[in-house]
Amino acid sequence: MEVILHIGAHRTATRSFQVILHQNRQALAKGGIAVWGPERTRTGLMSGLLKSTRLNAPEVLAQQARNCGLIAVEMARLKQAGTRQLLVSEENMLGSLRGNFKVSMLYPGARQRLARIAQAFGGDCRRIGLSIRPYHDYWASALAHAIPRGLAAPGEEDLDRLVTQPRSWRRVIEDVVAAFPGVDIAVWEFDRLKARPQAQLRLLTGAGGCLAPALVHANAAPDRAELRQALLDRGKLAAAALVPAGRGPYQPFAAHHMDALQAQYHSDLAWLRQCTSARIRFDEQVEQAAPAIPAPARKRGTA
């Protein structure tokens, strides 16, 4: 049985993809594909493995050991049932948005966290899937998601730190390579596949067929009007006043920030295009693998 890990990243339509996988789980099971999404990974099966790498308390280590045992039992059950592939979709395998903002860095503990995940799945892991997004969009969407949940609205210094932080998608991918020796890594751009869950599934598993679309766009970032209202509800009048009026997407970065972030992202893309590693696949035409589905209604989520 092949194990395929879809590790995110956050704010790249991961939750919408997970909702569609869950809604189509019975049809996928008939084709030999089992799916573990957040409804499994965050309810005891992997909860200890998803904790911060800094938490080395005995009770956390014991929970991680229990998780490894549970995963082994569940994988044995799936193999006995004749399952060909297990697709695990969980963006918190990389880290958390809260952790990113705590140190103003892109998945700083990814290598150590992923190494624990690799140990849990043993030699059965065959492929990793990672979606990347331009930094100015990624951080803006992450901020819009996190501010209503208690994160302070960013000031100029906070935004400067996000622009100058040393971690890049290239570094994250290199962490994946180090944590999973010999495993293939598929990388795609968010904008190309955000409305193409079937193409994502085909890229990860090779499966064809057709996925029934979700009825909602899960975990959508609040727009400016929603963000302003969230800040007003918290009594943050000055911060709310800095959010432009209207219903468009939140974008806190100034022009000089945007230029720097776009240059960083273009550097990542250049590296991916020139990468000679046979283990890293970056296909810029992957959206042609399946048509886009109609845009569903927006629904803010909690993932």
For residue 213, the model assigns a pLDDT of 76
Q: What is the DSSP string of 104-151?
A: TSSSTTHHHHHHHHHHHHGGGEEEEEEEE--HHHHHHHHHHHHGGGTP
Looking at residue 287, what is its pLDDT?
Answer: 64
Please say whether the beta carbons of 131 and 193 come within 8 A. Answer: yes
Instruction: Supply the pLDDT for residue 288.
Output: 66
Q: Give the Cα separation of 268 and 90 in Å (integer).
A: 23
| Residue 284: both structure tokens together | 């810029």
Rounded CA separation 79/246 (Å):
52
The highest-level CATH class for domain 2-299 is alpha beta
- Identity at 23, one-letter amino acid code: Q
The pLDDT of residue 143: 98
Element (H, E) at 33: strand 33-36
Q: In sequence order, what are the residues at sequence separation of 6 or more whose Cβ sits closer than 8 angstroms to the Cβ of residue 270?
A: none
Beta bridge partners of 282: 187
Tens-binned pLDDT, residue by residue, of the chain (303 aa): 999 999 999 999 999 999 999 999 999 999 999 999 999 999 889 999 998 766 677 888 899 999 999 999 999 999 999 999 999 999 999 999 999 999 999 999 999 999 999 999 988 999 999 999 999 999 999 999 999 999 999 999 999 999 999 999 999 999 999 999 999 999 999 999 988 899 999 999 998 777 887 766 778 899 999 999 999 999 999 999 999 999 999 999 999 999 999 999 999 999 999 999 999 999 888 766 655 655 555 555 434
- Whole-angstrom distance, CA of residue 101 vs CA of residue 85: 34
Q: What is the pLDDT of residue 26?
A: 95
**What pLDDT, on the 0 to 100 scale, is given for residue 303?**
41
20, 213 contact by CB (below 8 A) = yes
